[in-house]
Amino acid sequence: MQERRKLLVPAIALLLAIPFTTALLAQDPTRRRGFAIEITEPENQALIAGKTKIAAKVEIDDLDLLDRVEFIVGDDVIFVDREAPFECFHDFGEESRTWIVRAVAYHVEDVTVSDSVISRKLPFTQISRVNRVILWVTATDSNDNLVTDLTRDDFKIYEDGVEQKVLDFHVEERPIKMAILIDTSGSMVDKIKEVHEAAGAFVENLREIDEALVIDFDENVFLIQDLTKDVEALQEAIESTEPLGSTALYDAIHAAYRKIGTFSGRKVIVVLSDGEDTLSQFSFKRVLREARSNSTMIYTIGLGIEGGAPRRDVLKDFSSSTGGEFFYIRKKGTLGAAYERIAEELGKQYFLTYSTTNEEWNGRWIKMKVESLRKGVKIRARRGYFAVRSPGIGG
């Protein structure tokens, strides 16, 4: 079954979609456990210019086993460090531009790990433009039923406590680009049959205008079906998955962002996992930062079927940060209901835009809150954005 999985879309293991990562498939995964690197400065999506500090933190059982850390900007190695603290300074020039900054740690036993951040460009030519912030909103009542008859006047939006003016409002009917992520690690061996049935039924709810792709992940990340409207192809991909190995949950979410994050409009990631990441190259903190800076909604399903509870906090953080929802499956036979609810929500969401009063485009985090004036109605939406000017922030 594993061979069939790879043959569905030849030679597109999604780790190739993660920029500049080393060839994980050729490394011994046991040696990578406990070995990680994280860029601590600058933050992802930061505005950087002039002389800027680049710093990284390395996790390793014995520092004597660390050969070196390379700092890379674009395609150029700008500094090699062989002892802590791992840091350097680089002159990025006078204007804020988009830069890919990487740190690669080399183990003496031919194993490497890396982390990367991407800076944001501040387009000064757009200073005079109206700054629209885009939101997709889900409304529920006290019984968790979806509320579908709200109007523009039923909503209040705040940024850092300051009320904002709603510009556009409608029930969302535009197409969806969706990534369906399925955990196929060894811990899923007793659950995979129900996963096949529930996820297969889920894609039948996609509209003719929607497109989806399927990613499965164990200790590696594979794209087994690229974006398509073909329901049968999606079901075949889902049914081809088979449990094996460890879990690279964070790498899979990062790869999904890279596949659908560049599209405009509604973007959704649906993740099914037991939540226990054991092998990712990208850290939870790194990928959560990415989730907070992206308008993609993440729905997470945690499986605790006849076994240990999943790390619910991890899955909840991804969904709550992006306006999605977390579902915990306690027993067999209930997984299908979670997928059905996700499909229902996606068909009954609101689209809102507002003109932000923020005038400080310095990359800081802006907290957002959406409320309903109708009594008993709860609103779910993403919690904020990074203050970097764009034609439609969050679109």
* CATH at residue 234: 3.40.50.410
Q: Is residue 55 part of a domain?
A: yes
Cβ partners under 8 Å of residue 317, min gap 6: 288
State whether 112 and 146 are in the same domain: no
pLDDT tens digits, residue range 125-149? 333 334 788 899 999 999 999 999 9
State whether 328 and 376 are in the same domain: no
Alpha helices (H) along the chain: 2-8, 29-32, 192-203, 231-239, 249-260, 284-292, 312-322, 335-346
Q: Is residue 92 part of a domain?
A: yes
Q: Is residue 101 part of a domain?
A: yes
State the Cα–Cα distance between residues 136 and 323, nearest whole angstrom: 8
Higher per-residue pLDDT: 123 or 235: 235
- How does residue 46 score in pLDDT terms, banded at 50, 70 and 90? confident
- How does residue 339 score in pLDDT terms, banded at 50, 70 and 90? very high
Q: Which of 52, 83, 118 is the last residue of a domain?
A: 118
* CATH at residue 97: 2.60.40.10
Among 184-198, 279-293, 366-380, the least confident range: 279-293
State whether 106 and 199 are in the same domain: no
Boundaries of domain holding 332: 176-346
Closest CA to 55 of 101, 99, 20: 101
State whether 291 and 379 are in the same domain: no
Query: Cis omega before residue 42 (within 30°)?
Result: yes
Taking the model in full, what pTM does it have?
Answer: 0.70
State whether 338 and 353 are in the same domain: no
Number of domains in the chain: 3
The percentage of residues in the chain with a pLDDT greater than 70, rounded to a whole number, is 85
Q: Is the pLDDT of residue 308 over 70?
A: no
Q: What token pair was written down for 31?
A: 């040696």
State whether 363 and 234 are in the same domain: no
Asked if 247 and 217 count as a contact pair (C-beta separation under 8 A), the reply is yes
Please state whether beta strands 221-228 and 162-171 pair in parallel, antiparallel, or not at all (unpaired): unpaired
State whether 257 and 323 are in the same domain: yes
State the Cα–Cα distance between residues 24 and 16, nearest whole angstrom: 10
Q: What token pair was written down for 330?
A: 């306690």
pLDDT tens digits, residue range 285-301? 888 888 877 789 999 99
